[in-house]
Structure 1
Amino acid sequence: MHKLTSAELPAALAQVPHWRYQDERGGLIARQFVFHDFVQAMGFMTQVALVAERSNHHPEWFNVYNRVEVVLTTHDVQGLSQRDIDLAQAMERIAAAWPPQEPA
């Protein structure tokens, strides 16, 4: 595992177009997911937690009601790595598959 180089960044970031890149902390990507309600947001987080644990790569995230704010960076390389891109792609798949739910 290595920190993505400036030459590798454009192709990597193209794989996660809804994420915004920031130079902070050596490089990170961030995204906010908005769901129908708290149950959907927590369901998303639970599904992501299982993927993150299997890959031993854990997000920094914050939840308020139906919003989940996520920051991904790889502490071991002090910046962005392919592991972050892979987890972001998994999060996109999970969020896209989450069925709409009527308000309680």
Structure 2
Amino acid sequence: MPELLSDEEIRRRLPDGWERDGDEIVREYGFDDYLEGVAFAGEAGEIAQEEFHHPEMVIRYKEIEVRFTTHDAGGITERDLNLSEAFDELFEDEFGGGA
């Protein structure tokens, strides 16, 4: 089972644009239109499936909210930070940083 990260380590390593919300990390990605956001969610979902670590994703009109936590560990672990960075890379590389 993955180890929980300390509050200090989470603060120090949390990528730009991400915030802590209790036992989760969260970010909203902005897009030019609805279908671009849906495309991002689909590609991000493929990344998550490859890692077998599945975030909560909420699709809105021009934004996608992503929440990571490691349920079996009871909070934020290395896996959450790694995938948050992978999602950020996808957003920058494939979607030009969005709206």
Q: Check whether TM > 0.5.
A: yes
- Quick check: 1:40–1:98 contact (8 Å CA) kept in 2? no
Q: Which of the two has higher C-alpha Rg?
A: 1
Is residue 39 of structure 1 aligned with residue 28 of structure 2?
Answer: no
- The match for 2:3 is 2
Cα distance in 2 for residues equivalent to 1:31 and 1:99: 16
Deviation at 1:99, TM superposition (A): 4.1
- The match for 2:17 is 18
Cα distance in 2 for residues equivalent to 1:69 and 1:98: 17
SS at match of 2:32: coil
Q: Which amino acid aligns with 2:19?
A: R
Q: Which amino acid aligns with 1:56?
A: F
- Structure 2 unpaired stretches of 5+: none
Map Cα deviations across residues 44-97 of structure 1 (whole Å, 9 max, x no partner): 111111110010000111111221011111101110001110111011011112
SS at match of 1:98: helix
Cα distance in 2 for residues equivalent to 1:98 and 1:40: 10
Map Cα deviations across residues 24-46 of structure 1 (whole Å, 9 max, x no partner): 2xx21111011011121011111
SS at match of 1:75: coil
Q: CA RMSD of the aligned region, Å?
A: 1.4
- The match for 2:75 is 79
